[in-house]
Amino acid sequence: MNFNIVLQTSSSLTLELENQSCFKSSQPYTLKLNDEIIDEHLVQNVYSIYRLQPSTAYMVTIINEETGESLSKEVYTKKESICLNVKHFNAKGDGITDDTLAIQAAIMSCPDDGRVFIPKGTYATKTIFLKSNLTLELEKGATLLYSASFESGAILPGYTKNSNHEEYYLGSWEGNPLDTFTALIQGVNVSNVNLIGEGVLDGNGSIGWWDFPKVRNVAWRPRLFQIIHSHHVNVQGITLQNSPSWTVHPLFSDDLKFIDLKIINPKDSPNTDGLDPESCHRVLILGVHFSVGDDCIAIKSGKIYLGSRLKRASEYITIRNCSMNFGHGAVVIGSEMAGGVKHILVEQCLFNETDRGLRIKTRRGRGEVAIVEDVTFRHIEMEKVLTPLVVNCFYFCDPDGHSEYVKTKETLPVDYRTPDIRDFCFEDIKCRHSEIAAAYFYGLPEKPIERLSLKDCVFHFTTEAEPGVPAMMDDIPNYCQNGMVLNNIIEVNLENVTFENVIGDPMQIQNVKKVVVDGVIKENYC
């Protein structure tokens, strides 16, 4: 039983077991710190330790409770210039007093490489702005409760122009530069920031933010945690709940880690995506538990206005040892992906009772820069996922979503509005108790999906399945216990792919140039 230290700050660290299991280890373990047992009978692959001292060496030991084998590693915490307690800045933590200014005063007073500590209590706050070279820590039992409203919240303008008439983008709503309220925790142009601890960020979404989700009221709804134009940001251990809209939203940012979080929103809360990196590079999402009202993770890069100007893809994103529950999609790409999405790895994850597992949603109008390529899913377990794999190039979003241009299945000319889907690999995918279809891949006739590869995949259906639509597109019939639906694809490679309790032909193929099943080239389906 090996492990690695994946993050350390001045007062915390996170370890990750090195194995092939999904989210949880098959063998329980005991964790010791400097020969003192701090927890037993652990099974999670990712575990964080808090209340450590800065600039201190610690011996971390894990003991396999079945075999008795142990492994130890020495870890050094980061240095720290000072720790400031928000109570010393007159924060009350009584859930009634507005503590925004007290917490902000502590943050702005903290020197580089310092830590601002929020002890137990409920702190009613409006937006808290981060600054560079800072650690913000919430103690177990500490809650930041978002108290801003449509009347009192600050606003990020969608964009402004400098003296050279260059556009500077800030506010963002569903891929467009639009005015939005600032988040509970907001970072703009910050670097080297840690948000850590065992405390809670509560977005208080039920106080009006969820009532009219598609109506702009002064500005669009806020996020719970948002960083923009930022670098080297780590979020560790925090519970984020009741978000007014998307929960965690990094935008135009690089070198980010989201580790050992709990992201929890009611099932019926509107557009409460879990974690949506948008036009971001080098992102690690590790050991996060999701239970949300929309997509768990949605990787985005804006609509065509921003995509055509910035041409900034989301790329080099790793999602590992996460648990996704009850959302519309577990891992989603789009639909706002006009800047492209590239080099995505999802592995060792559990998907439970989501509508879809992998969900790619795009449409005509996203643009020629909207290239999705090099996406790999491996070592994934799905339970009660209605349709495990979906690539939908006819997603009916936006005011023109039901227009003839978007929905027609006829071949249209390829132009500057046409997106492109390439290179998907699925390996060691185990799906149980699905209902609608194993996979639904439907490309554009004028721009087919280029390559799909599935290896060592099992699709099992419950015999109590109910019919439904596998994808949000017009003119699609209901399916029930169907196998793979493949349409408008250049090449499909299948190796050791099995189906259980499928009704009818497990392969429904149209307009596919090349299908290879266990090394045998099948007929041309065009």
Separation between Cα atoms, residue 505 and residue 510, nearest integer Å: 13
Q: Give percent of the chain with pLDDT exceeding 70.
A: 99
In DSSP terms, 318 is beta-bridged to 284, 345
Q: What is the pLDDT of residues 291-331, one digit of tens each?
A: 998 999 999 999 998 888 899 999 999 999 999 999 899 99
Q: Radius of gyration over alpha carbons of the chain, in Å? A: 24
Q: What is the pLDDT of residues 36-48, one digit of tens each?
A: 999 999 999 999 9
Q: For residue 109, what pLDDT is reported?
A: 98
In DSSP terms, 373 is beta-bridged to 342
Q: For residue 524, what pLDDT is reported?
A: 67
Q: What is the pLDDT of residues 332-378, one digit of tens each?
A: 998 899 999 999 999 999 999 999 999 999 999 999 999 999 999 99
Residues 6+ apart with CB under 8 A from 99: 86, 91, 92, 93, 123, 124, 125
By C-alpha distance, which of 392, 426, 410 is closest to 496? Answer: 426
Q: For residue 526, what pLDDT is reported?
A: 64
Q: What mean pLDDT value characterizes the chain?
A: 95
Instruction: Cite the active site residues.
Output: 294, 328
Per-residue pLDDT averaged across 6-29, rounded?
Answer: 96
pLDDT at 227 over 80: yes
pLDDT at 163 over 90: no
The pTM of this model reads: 0.97
Q: For residue 102, what pLDDT is reported?
A: 98
pLDDT at 223 over 90: yes
By C-alpha distance, which of 189, 192, 191 is closest to 229? Answer: 189
By C-alpha distance, which of 422, 424, 321, 337 is closest to 380? Answer: 321
Q: For residue 277, what pLDDT is reported?
A: 98
Q: For residue 165, what pLDDT is reported?
A: 80
**Would you say the CATH fold of 295-526 matches that of 2-76?**
no
Under CATH, which architecture does the 295-526 domain have? Answer: 3 Solenoid (2.160)
Q: Are 77 and 54 in contact (CB under 8 A)?
A: yes
Q: What is the pLDDT of residues 245-261, one digit of tens each?
A: 999 999 999 999 999 99
- Band of pLDDT at residue 72, cut at 50, 70 and 90: very high
pLDDT at 203 over 90: yes
User: What is the sign of the dihedral through the CA atoms of 181, 201, 17 and 430?
Assistant: negative
Q: For residue 1, what pLDDT is reported?
A: 86
pLDDT at 523 over 80: no
And the tokens for 70? 């142990």
User: What is 2-76's CATH number?
Assistant: 2.60.40.10
Per-residue pLDDT averaged across 191-202, rounded?
Answer: 98
Q: Give percent of the chain with pLDDT exceeding 90.
A: 94
- Band of pLDDT at residue 398, cut at 50, 70 and 90: confident
pLDDT at 94 over 90: yes
* Other beta carbons less than 10 A from residue 410's beta carbon: 7
- Band of pLDDT at residue 98, cut at 50, 70 and 90: very high
Q: Is the peptide bond before 279 cis (omega within 30 degrees of 0)?
A: no
Q: Are 293 and 305 in contact (CB under 8 A)?
A: no
And the tokens for 335? 């639909």
pLDDT at 118 over 90: yes
At 292, give phi and psi (nearest 5°).
-135, 175
Residue boundaries of the structural domains of the chain: 2-76, 295-526
Q: For residue 101, what pLDDT is reported?
A: 98
Per-residue pLDDT averaged across 471-496, rounded?
Answer: 95
Separation between Cα atoms, residue 86 and residue 117, nearest integer Å: 6
